[in-house]
Structure 1
Amino acid sequence: MKIKKISEIKNFSIFKDFDWDTNLTYQNKQRQNEVYDFKDINILYGRNYSGKTSLSKIIRSLEKKQLPLKYDNPDFKIKLSDDTEITQNTLQTFEHPIHVYNSDFVKENLKFIHNENDNIESFSVTLGGDNQQILEQIQKLKGELGSNEENNKSGIYLDIHNKEHQVRKASENHNAKNRHLENTLSDKATRGSESIKSQHTLFGDINYSITKLRNDLTEVQKSSFQVLSEDQKIEKLALIKQTELPTPPEIPKYTLNFSSLLQATTETLKTVVSLSGKIEELTNNPTLNSWVQTGHQLHHDRDTCAFCNNKISEEREQTLNQHFNQEFQILQSRISKGIQLLDKELDSEILKFNLNINLYYQQYHSRLSALSSNLDSSFSKQKASLEQLKIALEQKQNNPFIELESNNPQDYSLEITTILDQISDIRNQCIRLNSDLKTKQEEAKKAVRLNHVYHFLQDINHTQLTSDIEFALQAIAPLKTELATLRTRKDTLLSDIETEEAKLKSEGEACNRIKELLNHEFGHSSLSLEPIEVDTMNGKQIKFEIQRIKDGNKTKAHNLSEGECSLISFCYFLAKIQDDLDHDKKPIIWIDDPICSLDNNHIYLIYSLLENLCLENNYNQLFISTHNLDFLKYLTQLTPMGKTATTIKREKAFYQIERAFTCSILKKMPLHLQENSSEFIYLFDQIYKCSLAIDVDDSNHIYFYNFANNARKFLEIYTYYLFPNPQLKDRQRLQRFWGDRLPRIFSERINHDGSHAVTILEGKITLRDFSEVNTNAKLILSKLKTSNSEQYNCLLESIGITPTTQ
């Protein structure tokens, strides 16, 4: 396992919103973009406070499986060689051996540096020996444990790998089924033209969501939920589409008193005119009597017959008047009025009432249609009953001298009144519906929506889908239990192996290894590391103590210099990781700035130790950071290969950590730093970049901010080699270099004020004017070129610039 890249650092100390691919993409020889990822050996250069230690703390969190203290909301992502990613929340999943040397390592393991009363934490290394039984037990345990190498797993590691695969597949199966149902529900809720949200005019919610759909699912799955019948659905849909109607006309009142008409008719039929003084021939012949009655009325003012022209005798006139006397006239008038009344009732508006159902809401149309049909039928029957009364009176009109029997036709008034009351009740409902139509429509929309959701669940077989999801979920737990058992067994085996290996370890051997490093010919022969036994809460334990040879005797060392502390710390680190190297665990090693406060001899010792580490080739990946350009020059010469000629040569990569005010970035190291890592070349490169800039932006403002210091140091170095007379002051060398007074004064003012700010207070807190810095940079380059063009071209070539012929 290797670290491929630190994909992003959104927040960690000086790093803010750093993205690897954005900052480490470059053009290869084929002029195509390529991401510059970590290799086998990785060299990082950055000045002090640029962020080197912050990077080491991120990596050390993989080793410790926890975040460092006192960092607010750390947020980063590390991509490994198998393309898995580790974040600040998944540190526990990283299992490959890794060792980080930085200030935190020193604080935790070498406490005496900060407190002389503390000792160094002890550790032990494996010794050779004849304890074959222990070795055989270790081999047996390791055999069961197996190998954890990529593509070559065995034993418990292979079982865990396979079980993890089963858990992952079971989880993926559960997630796929759950995702399928969720997508189906999302489609129905909000996505597409067929979704409930898209049909809000029908279902009543323009803000419908999957959450609301889940609430509806709960509603329709209750035992109390009633599915709409087809008629109910049609009625609800009609109500939803309904617009507000005007108030229907009032229903007329049914005022016909049939019982009164029947009673009056019956009484009239029973009334008989007295036969006294009546013409017998006429009383016996109703037709003739009617004919004579009509003629008598026509001849009221005549004395001759209009038919035969004969004179009508007074005797005949008296006989007829007596026959058609007042009693007779009263009965005939009564009958006529009765007939007229019946005709009036037959022609009354109430019996002509025609119900217009289109004036009512459609939901009532079916009921109103039935009521209208029943009302027409009742009206027809009532008219028939009135006609019967009229016919009876007409018969009585021709038979005044006899009593007629009434056939008592049926009265339909109650039936008609009941129907009219029902229609009136529907009219009142329509009037009330006008006032709460919106509420009723919302209720109808909800009912239609729930009905739609219910049928949707049947269509997708929701019950089976949820059952499948639950079954898939239940399949995960046993697999996880089996996986936990395997992991517990793995931990037990590792613990047992550690216990057995502890029987083969010795703190004294660890001391000897560190002393060998300290007593190297370039090391520190007066210092030694000795194991001592100390009392702790857990009983007696072995700790290490740094001792110094004083007057021929070893005593506890006090007042160690910073260089001595650095040397002891790094030797301790190398000895501590030696076990993983010896046992071919192929650890990842990150070393942060190991040469702090060391002199040249000790710097070369550190380099020698690192070179030896590379030659041993027992590590998987190596990272080394430094702030020292001289040490960087050594690091570029590390030999990236193994012990044998068949070993594949390791790749090296170079990075630069650069800070710009409040944040830092990691970028590909410039070629001139990789190949000519001297401060002189670096300073020339910074001046050259300032001379090319057209404007100040986020990518180059750091060059301008540091220009005064860089230019001053460069000119001091350059002029010293031009004029090495120790009697000359820096100012005198600059005067000889510039020759011309004006450019010297201009350049000197910018460089001096910008780097010292002794004359202008604001110089410490404000940036130099861009044009002044740019002009000064060009002025320095121009002077270098005119002074020695061949040397100037060599300087350009040292930073990867091809000199022009002009």
Structure 2
Amino acid sequence: MLKSFQRIKGLGVFADYAPPAGTVEFGVKNIIYGWNYSGKTTLSRLVAMLQSRTLNPELPQCSFTIATDTGNVTEANFHSTSHVVRVFNSDFVAENLNFAGSHFRPILLLGSESEAAQKEIERYEAMHKRAVDGAADRSKEAAAATRAMSSAKTTASATIKKAIGLVAAFGSTQLDAELRTINLGLENHALETEAFEADIKLAHASAKESLPAIAMVTVQMSLADLSARASTLLAKKPDLANTIAHLVDNPPVETWVQMGLHLHQAKTACEFCGGDLAPERLKTLGEHFSKDLDDHKRAVEQLAQQAEAAKLTIAERKDVELNAPLKEQFVKANADFQQALVAYNAELEALRVRLVSKLAAPFVTVEPEPYDGKAAETVTRKLEALNAVFKGHNEVKDNFPAEKDAAIERLKLHFAQEFKEAQYLDKFATDQARRERHRMRYESCAAKLRTEINRLKAIISQAQLGREEINKRIENLLGGESVQIAVVATAEGERFQLVRRDGKPARHLSEGEKTAIAFSFFLTKLREIKEFGKAIVYIDDPISSLDSNHIFQVAAIIKETFFHQPVVNAPWTTRCKQVFFSTHNFEFFSLLRELKPEGKNAALYLVKRIGPKTSSLLNMPESMHRYDSEYHFLFHVLDEFHNSADKTDLKVLMLLPNAVRRFVELYTYSKYPDRRMSPVDARAERVFGGEKAKRILKTLHYFSHANNVERMYENSDLMCDIEAAVGDLMEHLQASDPDHLVALRAAVA
């Protein structure tokens, strides 16, 4: 709580102020009265420095001592003062409002019913931040994993391109295309070592390096025919009419005899034993070996030779002669074919053996083996398979570019398969999907929280609440069609803007509108103070440019805002800790003075100029307590001067120009309250006459504003006219309005 201004130096018109003896300490309610430019606003700026805790840039060299209930506050320690201070003055208006149509900072209020919702908003905001951060973290993790995988793909694609010897572009994009094929999962594209090496060789090969063509294999098979013919010969017996039983029964002997028979032609002795050889015996032996037998044996022998000759043999190919992809097929097909040949030739050999045995025993019938043709069918089938391999080889040669391209494509898929497995792409995809699910959950949660936050904010918008309250105050002061505050959204958040009823920005406001808006803004802004009971409020001239009706409304608003009676019949007190009012309007001063509390809790002061650059704050003169209106007080000042013997007191003279001007304004307006005659000069001429009006008004216009107070020293001759002007005014009242003069003197007696 402020107690007094102990010392003020270098603060505008307070060049070196110390309170006059007997000046009372400040109460909870304090009213300071003074005319324009007497120093009221300067005092408000001093108190405002306790609010901002910074020196006013227009008053950089000032020093001061303010006594408070917690010790003295000076220019040396005011930066750390703990007092909660709020000041309404012209500086506040300039800093907080914009009367040119632009937006300005809003008043942020919380209604009591909204405190719980605000706590919910704060809780939701914290949860929203966590959700947003969680989504951001998952996005960062996914992005980092994607970057790492992209780097791996770039490296792998370069390696693949080099390994295959690709000329065409092969980067991450092309690798991704191969991976999409891999991910279809239709087959495993990893190549076996041999196939891989073959495809690598083919991929690097030129057309000149392709292997030569291989001729198709053909065979002639006669097993069926030979088997059929052998069946006949093996079952046939030669003519037995002249056969020798012993030879028939002993085929080896028969063969031996037949082989040596031609050696004994025309011989009489046996070449073997030397014994006699009778002609009859040679004849008998000759008849045994008849032409039929000879022909039969010759036929059997020839068929046996044909069976031997019918055996199949082919020149074997080596796997190195074939293109790599076909080598494995060739090895199997060739082995199968060779096996079929062995089986086929084995049947021919069995047939030949039977024929040879028939040849040795021509008179013995041999049961033929039944022929089923399976061996020949197997040879045919296996040969077709082998030739298919050779055909494929030849096609590779004939279509080398296409085969090379196919090998390259297989290699791409092979390397892509390797990359997928080495980089655990399935796990990567699973992890990325998990991160994306988590991110979406976080974002969904954040969106729901933001919706709820916006819903609560829309209901309890602090700016909207401030707007509603300030608009009520403006409407009370200016009426239902007045300027209003709108909340507009900007990049900086919600802001206030003055608008007309049509929603357009309000410009070119009257001074009265500006005053009403500014004071309404200030009163509403006080609600931002959480502990209003600890606040010190200083209000400088809140009724500037307002007419009498509005002055009464302002006084009523002040009563409601700052004063209350806790219970019936209890003393009135202030809602805040301490309040100050300063004004130049006596009517407003009187209305404030009537507001309770009174007595020792209320202090009245007068601030007045006592020199060109000097003002003083002192106790309100007792005489001013007696008047109910400014008009009475002004008359008292003029009448006392008019009747005084000493009219040279500078302190009195400095009051007179403003007093006379204000009295003339009120007096002439009471005579002619016509708007067409509103200028004071016009009304004065009508009341006093042209010549006297000019004499009165000339001096008053020259000296009635404090920014010209220095002229009183510089124009002492004109100062003498003040006495004459007051005299003319009193003479007029005496001569033309004596009843009014008598009533005035009675009122101030």
Task: Give the TM bin, normalised by the shorter chain.
Answer: 0.3 to 0.5
Kindly indicate whether structure 1 or structure 2 has the higher relative contact order, using CA contacts under 8 Å at least 6 residues apart: 2
- Structure number with larger C-alpha Rg: 2
Higher share of residues assigned helix: 2
TM-score calculated relative to the size of structure 2: 0.44
